[in-house]
């Protein structure tokens, strides 16, 4: 059956009179009704919030501001991440990704991404954990003098956790914002004596506050 508003109903007709029909609806569906055609026999208890189906494959893009302190002053840098993920019907998401970041040197993280959305509404809180390895590029030039040359970056462990809010559209794409903690370890190596191949190692650990803004395409 098709209503004037365009809504489709599927069911069994129980009674057909000259001016009305009585019908048992046999499948769950959403219909559109004019308020003038509705007679309420009891007060409205509330309007059900629309649900968003987040399960399935998704692509995530995000940009973050990383702020913290070094030995002398406050410092900040930008971080850009790209990841692929699969979300299960219970709200748990597993994925992997990479990115581009600037600390004292440029690094490219490769990480596993675990997320959880507790709600199926358009606006839902979420929490995330990322862990992996960042590959370093270039040499450390922090203004200090080293015996032979500038240390070469070898990368190191990365870890990131935080929480935020996601707002989804009717087509399931979404924008999100979050706040988190970021840890990055970078190891630098340099030759102290070329003839003896004597190597020195310098390890730097970065602790940063992250403010993240991102897009999700499903």
Query: What average pLDDT score do residues 34-39 get?
Result: 68
Burial class (CB in 10 A: 0-12, 13-18, 19+), 161: middle
Count other C-beta atoms under 10 Å from residue 88's C-beta.
12
pTM higher than 0.75: no
Tell me what pLDDT residue 137 has: 79
Count other C-beta atoms under 10 Å from residue 100's C-beta.
14
Tell me what pLDDT residue 27 has: 67
Q: Is the pLDDT of residue 85 over 90?
A: yes
Contacts 24+ apart (CB under 8 A), 5-11: 5/31, 5/32, 5/33, 5/34, 6/32, 7/31, 7/32, 7/33
Higher pLDDT, 131 or 21: 131
For the stretch 94-147, pLDDT in tens is: 999 999 998 878 899 999 999 999 998 999 999 999 999 999 876 665 555 444
Q: Is the pLDDT of residue 28 over 70?
A: no
Question: Which domains are delineated in the chain?
Answer: 1-34 (no CATH), 56-217 (2.40.160.20)
Tell me what pLDDT residue 53 has: 84
Structure tokens at 208: 């940063």
Pair 89, 64: CB distance under 8 Å: no
């Amino acid at each position: 059956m098709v209503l004037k508003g365009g809504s489709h109903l599927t069911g069994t007709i129980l009674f057909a009179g000259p001016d009305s029909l009585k019908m048992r609806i046999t499948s769950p569906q959403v219909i559109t009704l004019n308020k003038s055609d509705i007679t309420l026999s009891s007060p409205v208890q509330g309007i059900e919030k629309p649900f968003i189906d987040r399960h399935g494959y998704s692509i995530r893009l995000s940009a973050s501001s990383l702020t913290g302190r070094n030995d002398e002053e406050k410092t900040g840098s930008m971080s850009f991440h790209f990841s692929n993920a699969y979300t299960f019907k219970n709200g748990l998401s597993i994925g992997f990704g990479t990115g581009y970041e600037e600390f004292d040197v440029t690094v490219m993280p490769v990480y596993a991404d675990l997320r959880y959305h507790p709600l199926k509404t358009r606006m839902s809180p979420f929490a995330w954990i990322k862990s992996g390895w960042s590959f370093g590029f270039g040499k450390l030039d922090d203004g200090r003098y080293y015996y032979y040359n500038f240390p070469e970056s070898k990368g190191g462990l990365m870890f990131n956790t935080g929480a935020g809010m996601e707002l989804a559209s009717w087509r399931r794409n979404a924008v999100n914002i979050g706040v988190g903690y970021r840890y990055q370890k970078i190891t630098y190596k340099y030759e102290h004596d070329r003839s003896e191949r004597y190597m020195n190692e310098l390890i730097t650990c970065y602790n940063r506050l992250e403010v993240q803004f991102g897009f999700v395409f499903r």
